[in-house]
Structure 1
């Protein structure tokens, strides 16, 4: 990499967050591919296999997040994003060439693909938070969420455009085209600089100063570099043999529990049940074939993208905890109210549940969806940031995996309204967690958060 050549800050922020496109595309693509895959492989009566094929990526991501977070402390955020993009491209192409009725093959390939998805979910927030100035960190870290939901919307549109093809070809193309953004990411990240905080931690001070000169006003570079150096020296002397056990040591425990808890709640609240299975949810509500309901994912995708843009506008105007409390409360009520109404209104239109799901998605899109990754990126001290981000990402993917695996089994045995009511209760428990366990981090530098423990 040519470190002498000036790299525009816009280029750094765009490709620094572009990993979210891959993350989002693979979250969304199975939504449209699943109805065709179901028909092609005759999986209509096997909810367990459907759940495993859908959630295999999340299972791989559990390990990908932890591994990448740990390795990024040794190899650097940039290098690990490059490796992840290559794994993503290979995994996407291997998915597309699955043998007919190759359920086991596809599950294992998607687990492999999940390593890259989990890595991206851990690396991008850490990289973006370390590159962003404190007063813009919410907005710039929120670009990651805009990338994620743009990837989801892109996958929904691709699914919709390909739905007229023969079913055995349609789902293969849907899965295989994920290699395209992976290659774009690889080429873009080749030109990115490494995080200045990683460079300081590895005693590459001149390079760190140069990177800061790309992304900060010239009169702020020396001051921020000194703050990073002081923090790095303190952490190095206090933490020479950092290990995963350190994450739960007394001085780190409070912030680790807060960050990991937010990551876990985001998934156990049930958002991905909607994103993975909305055509099947509409099919169950209306009786129409899931493959004819592929406009609904696009509607959800548009809501998500608009919500992520709203977040970019309000990110640094409102406190993190305020937005998470608002979002969690409305999301919980959106899940619980259909079950309550169904008790009192005997002939309630089954599409009402879909309307409430849209309200849920709208509030999720500008609160819990982006802020989870903002908090993961900014709350952990430098000495453990890679490891802790990886663990938080892994807990996020454990939730995503369990939701993806269990939702089709739950809806096969319970009314949909009851399933969503359970998720609604979890949303409200998430609000309690935010109010009692998560410190406010808006407007503080990463070094201030680390020194103060902010509310500890």
Structure 2
């Protein structure tokens, strides 16, 4: 027993934060891997003129993730964040392998792959909901933005990893190339599973289940000051007690009670806008975008995803540097405004100068990715992890994740159809308008959360709810 206890005490905070956020690697790898696999898959299965089928194959993961996020949110409230992350890793391993061994049965092959990738999406959606919740509950308030930003760094590192793998495998025979690209996703899933086996459960979840001794032990891994541990335990217990008294049983209707509605709308709204702004249209289809702009074969444009991936990783590191120096709202509004202009200006320039260099749109897309990478990309998950009160965090995080994936799924599904029907510049201009609407939403509907404890953020929502109940016209 003493040996076991000593072994557990050796778990460092760096290990906890690294593997606590490692689920983002799975998320990112699967976002990026189809970017390189798709041109080879299209050629192998003769799908070049099947825009709808291509859209479904690409977006099937996001469709499954809609349900995975909501399901994992509920189950994590019952079984814990750690156990559900382990389960997600297992599901991810199984269906990554099944994607890589898709049978060649003509048109039926496409439907098989769509179904398998939907199940894979359950694990991806679960990771997108569980990792931010786990990281926010482990991180101290003063460093929560930076540490929660590790999730985004992991996501974009997973994307860059998939782009590099795609590039390295591109010279294999077409059938082997895309199969290995998809199947190798099982490797990071295995690493995640082995790492999370040693992770502790969230102290907030442990306290909610009445295990104060274990919650204190977990906090001792990640807090240096005993007084800070006592203060945080007391704060968590007080909030949990108030929630138990107010809501003996939390239901979906609880999320939209006057007490929580303001925070739920803010968190879910930001999660939805992040995807409807069109970022994943770039990440899923950049080789096809360059092909349409230049006429070069998509399979020869696999260096562009790596460029985008490098920009994303640098941006995530920039975010970790500035995360707790600027207000969340400020970064979101500045980023959203530049992103919107980056999408709208190519359409304006093309209208004024019809002979515009076709690569101009790609340059503007790089500007979009740069600002997205250190504003909306990481801050969405930071907000989702920190804005929801304890009593509804699992359900609300799952709901936000599901809305995020609904946007991702729709963008992945309809982008190839839209670009088949209208100029690319016009498609991106539509996304640019959505970016501007996102800025307006943040300015009017999202509270500032930087530097506040989770309990203080909850109090903001409670006070706003009281004001609304007293003055409905406000």
TM normalised by structure 2 equals 0.95
Aligned match of 2:252: 244
Deviation string 1:173-200 (CA, Å, 9 cap, x unpaired) is 0000000000000000000000000000
2:115 maps to 1:111: no
Dislocated runs of 4+, deviation >6 Å: none
> What is the SS of the residue equivalent to 2:249?
coil
Alpha carbons of 1:114 and 1:340: their partners in 2 closer, same or farther (altered >3 Å)?
same
Aligned match of 1:254: 262
Deviation string 1:92-133 (CA, Å, 9 cap, x unpaired) is 000000011301100000000000000000000000000000
Aligned match of 2:60: 56
Decide which moves more: 371-380 or 217-226.
217-226
2:76 maps to 1:76: no
> What is the SS of the residue equivalent to 1:453?
helix
- Gap runs ≥5 in structure 2: 465-474
2:186 maps to 1:179: yes
Say which of 316, 322, 340 aligns to 1:332: 340
Say which of 357, 368, 376 aligns to 2:365: 357
State whether residues 93 and 176 of structure 1, in contact with CA within 8 Å, keep that contact through their aligned partners in structure 2: yes
- CA distance in 2 between partners of 1:312 and 1:84 (Å): 26
TM normalised by structure 1 equals 0.99
2:205 maps to 1:192: no
- CA distance in 2 between partners of 1:86 and 1:409 (Å): 34
Alpha carbons of 1:455 and 1:422: their partners in 2 closer, same or farther (altered >3 Å)?
farther
Say which of 372, 375, 379 aligns to 1:367: 375
Compute the RMSD of aligned alpha carbons.
1.0
State whether residues 439 and 455 of structure 1, in contact with CA within 8 Å, keep that contact through their aligned partners in structure 2: no
Deviation string 1:25-67 (CA, Å, 9 cap, x unpaired) is 0000000000000000000110000000000000000000000
Deviation string 1:347-379 (CA, Å, 9 cap, x unpaired) is 100000000000000000000000000000000
Say which of 287, 311, 314 aligns to 1:306: 314
Give the drift of 1:454.
8.0
Deviation string 1:192-220 (CA, Å, 9 cap, x unpaired) is 00000000000010000000111012221
Say which of 439, 453, 456 aligns to 2:461: 453
Aligned match of 2:211: 204
Aligned match of 1:168: 175
State whether residues 201 and 232 of structure 1, in contact with CA within 8 Å, keep that contact through their aligned partners in structure 2: yes
2:28 maps to 1:20: no
Give the drift of 1:240.
1.1
2:292 maps to 1:291: no
State whether residues 259 and 462 of structure 2, in contact with CA within 8 Å, keep that contact through their aligned partners in structure 1: no
State whether residues 335 and 371 of structure 2, in contact with CA within 8 Å, keep that contact through their aligned partners in structure 1: yes
- CA distance in 2 between partners of 1:425 and 1:214 (Å): 46
> What is the SS of the residue equivalent to 1:396?
helix
- Gap runs ≥5 in structure 1: none
